[in-house]
Each structure stands twice: as structure tokens, then as C-alpha cells.
Amino acid sequence: MFERTVARMRSIDLNVIFFEAVKETSYELSALIRTQILSGKDKNGLPIGTYSGSEASLNYVEYKLSAGLFPINSLPHYNLYYSGDFLNSILVKVNLFGDIDIVPMDSKLSDIEENTGSLNEALELNEENLNEYRRLIAPLIQKKIRNKLLN
């Protein structure tokens, strides 16, 4: 019995379990990223971009305010929200090699990056959201390990 349990423990590939759990919680992970972007901050707490004091920029901010396009107050920072298409296009992909890619599928991505620069750091979780994700995924990983040991 003990030898069988040890053999099961040795057969567990924690990387596979982790990537399965990420795949199963990809919606929750992308939701955390969307909320973070709406706050106008990247993974380091730095602004994704800041509206300038130009007349065109101020008019745009005024328009977004009047249209309710700041669901979370991020002023004076960009929140990358207009119609919601960009934020809703963010997908978490886990491939067969265990790579995790966070990819916005919006056709306006190149235009957005032209105005803001690379979005790589905006698409990574800050410390607070990373801890929230850890709290979310840990029980799932534990359950998967337990199931491997018992089956």
C-alpha cells in the first residue's frame, strides 16, 4: 500500500496539473486582467497611459465621462475602455507545451499599442491580483493532486 502511494506521488506531474488548472480558470484570470486594465494601471501599478492636456485629449475625456465610459474611475490614466470590445477580447491560452499566453484578439490592438506602447505589462497581474488568483487556483490544484493520489 505504501509503495503504491509513493509510486502515485512520483507519477504526478505538477506542471501538467498547474497548466490544467490555469486552463480551467482562464475566464477568472482574464477577468482579473480586465479589472486591472479598467483601473488604468499595469502590473507594476504604473499608468497604462495618461491623457494629455491637449484640447483633443480633454474633449475625448469629457466625451468618455458623459457617455459613462469610465466604469472604474481611472482618470487621468487610460483604461482602454470604449465599447468593451478590447477588454472582452482578452483570452488566456495554454498550449500543449504549457506556455500561457494572454492575448487580446481585438482588431484594434495595433492602434491601441501605437498610442500606449506595448501592452505586455498591462496584461500581467499586479501583486494584489496575482495573490487573488493564487487563492482561486490553489484549491483546484490541491483537488487535482488529491484525485491523482486516490485514483
d(CA 33, CA 151): 35
Whole-Å CA distances, 83 to 79, 87, 96: 12, 9, 33
8 assigned to some structural domain: no
68 within some domain: yes
Residue 116 lies in domain: 25-136
Residue with cell 491601441: 112
What's the confidence (pLDDT) of residue 90?
A: 93
91: burial class by Cβ within 10 Å (0-12, 13-18, 19+)? middle
- Give the containing element (helix H, strand E) for 23: helix 14-24
In a domain, 88, yes or no: yes
The set of cell numbers assigned to 101 is 499566453
> Is there a domain that residue 6 lies in?
no
Please check whether residue 2 lies inside any domain of the structure: no
Has residue 147 got a pLDDT over 80?
Answer: yes
> How many Cα atoms within 13 Å fall on the side-chain side of residue 23?
12
Q: Is the dihedral of CA 116, 117, 123, 127 positive or negative?
A: negative
Nearest to 140 by CA among 24, 36, 60: 24
Cβ contact 48:40 at 8 Å: yes
Q: pLDDT per residue over 17-41, tens digit each?
A: 999 999 999 999 999 999 999 888 8
**Which pLDDT score, from 0 to 100, does residue 138 have?**
96
What is the model's pLDDT at position 34? 93
Q: How confident is the model at residue 8 (pLDDT cuts 50, 70, 90)?
A: confident
* Res 141: pLDDT: 96
Report CA torsion sign: 71, 72, 77, 78.
negative
The answer to whether residue 139 scores a pLDDT higher than 80 is: yes
Q: What is the pLDDT of residue 26?
A: 93
- What number is the average pLDDT over the span 37-56? 89
Question: Which of the residue ranges 3-7, 30-34, 125-129 would you say has the lowest mean pLDDT?
Answer: 3-7
- pLDDT recorded at residue 77: 85
Residue 90 lies in a domain: yes
pLDDT of residue 105: 92
pLDDT digits (tens, 9 = 90+) for 68-122: 887 777 778 888 888 888 999 999 988 777 788 898 999 888 888 887 888 888 9
Q: What is the pLDDT, as a whole number, of residue 51?
A: 84
Round to whole Å and give the CA distance between 20 and 106.
Answer: 26
User: What total of structural domains would you count in the chain?
Assistant: 1
Task: In whole angstroms, give the CA distance from residue 45 to residue 95.
Answer: 29
